[in-house]
Chains A and B, each alone.
Chain A
């Protein structure tokens, strides 16, 4: 006699149906694991591919022709990198406490730079500034405005001005208060392979800094 009504799972107690319950649970569990394992490679496939990661390898930039006061822009990992040869005047201004009070994060407390750039000049060597040139507000590329005063007002010490929504940064990439950008411009991993060549994307030998750990690009 076949009674389809009673074919609900686990309706009866006793040996046959508990064995069936076990098999049903086991097969559901295994099937679930299998489905997850099948979906996972698809999701992972969307992560950067090997060649994309390889293209993000460190690049060497010859800075011998960058004059004091001059900025060059290079691309690393498809992002603009500002490289500035700061003058001694500009370096003095950086340490000026009057200007420091205008900054949101003068001491670089927020993790936007490697450990070796957590200093008053936010770089390895004071005269060479290396920044990721992407405004921490919504991602535009700020303009380089190193000259004090001028159109940005008498209190302007020199630095960066973002044309999209008016965010301002000083010549160490530190963000001013009263502007929409929340964080200092990031400092990428970099080191000097020689006096005239800086390698962007690689830490000095004594540091293991992971650029992925910064607060915001």
Chain B
């Protein structure tokens, strides 16, 4: 048995050294903080940004990423994206959905508002085959499924860079500042003017990333605004109740002093 102390010392030094090297190659810079309209207890969604973000999703992201948990009808209404029922019917009808015709044969029909978003690929294997073996994740709850939420998604979308000279990149991977490990299978999906915004907003990469991250936040949690509104009312009520109960408690206990 070697003396334990020197073993510990060697281990300690090795750990620190390994840790330092580890840190250099894998350090992810802190996510750039973005001010979102939905931040904070009183935050709400910017409806124009939601619609622009949906446009980015439909025109760019939906080519590879499904969003299975949302139905077209979910987009309608002032609590959602602010589209009318008619607009939503039109949005849905642009997509084809698998169905069965009157003879029982597979057929396609235009989507209805009650249909869920049509996925770009029939199944996981088809998705992988079309994307070099990588599976583009479903985006329905992506904001809640990633540490950093909207900040993270925005950072990823704007974080594509040329790989540093000494960084070994695997085949088909893309260098991203903020992705853990720095290698992401997704090529940069957005750049300036990837879409032409219907409302005329200038479509810089940052703008597109913000808008689509806003839309994805809504998609991950459509009830967020209702949650915060209800929360304010509940907290105010509970504070009143607490105050009254404290008074009652003091009064009742006063006779014991």
Contact = CB atoms under 8 A, between A and B. Distances in A.
B138 to A, nearest CB: 18
A23 B252 CA distance: 10
B53 interface: no
Interface stretch (B27-35, B57-65, B145-153, B241-249): B241-249
A57 B248 contact: no
B113 A16 contact: no
A108 to B, nearest CB: 31
Interface string A46-72: 000011001101000000000000000
B198 interface: no
Interface string A1-35: 01000110000000010011001101100110110
B73 A27 contact: no
B114 A30 contact: no
Given A2-B256, A54-B71, A55-B114, A19 B251 contact: yes
B6 interface: no
Contacts of A50: 74
Given A27-B244, A27-B245, A20 B113 contact: no
B240 interface: yes
Nearest to A20: B251
A20 B114 contact: no
Contacts of A55: 114
A62 to B, nearest CB: 9
A6 B254 CA distance: 13
B42 interface: no
A30 B113 contact: no
A13 to B, nearest CB: 15
Q: How large is the interface on A (under 10, 10 to 19, 20 to 34, 35 or more residues)?
A: 20 to 34
A57 B252 contact: no
B75 to A, nearest CB: 12
B28 to A, nearest CB: 38
A51 B71 contact: yes
Interface string B219-247: 00000000000000000011011001101
Given A19-B251, A54-B114, A57-B114, A30 B244 contact: yes
Interface string A100-121: 0000000000000000000000
A16 B251 contact: yes
A57 to B, nearest CB: 6
B112 interface: yes
A30 B245 CA distance: 9
Contacts of B244: 23, 26-27, 30
Contacts of B113: 54, 57
A51 B114 contact: yes
A92 to B, nearest CB: 32
A24 to B, nearest CB: 5
A37 B251 CA distance: 27
B114 A23 contact: no
Nearest to B230: A41
B232 to A, nearest CB: 14
A116 B133 CA distance: 59
B237 A23 contact: no
A205 to B, nearest CB: 14
A20 B252 contact: yes
Interface in B139-193: none
Contacts of A30: 237, 240-241, 244
Q: Which 6 A-B pairs have the closest CB atoms?
A: A23-B248, A20-B251, A54-B114, A27-B244, A23-B247, A30-B241
15 contacts: A2-B255, A6-B255, A16-B251, A19-B251, A23-B248, A24-B252, A26-B244, A27-B247, A30-B237, A31-B241, A34-B241, A50-B74, A51-B71, A54-B73, A57-B114
Interface of A: 2, 6-7, 16, 19-20, 23-24, 26-27, 30-31, 33-34, 37, 50-51, 54-55, 57
Given A2-B255, A30-B241, A50-B74, 10 more contacts: A23-B248, A24-B251, A27-B241, A27-B244, A27-B245, A34-B237, A34-B238, A54-B71, A54-B114, A57-B114
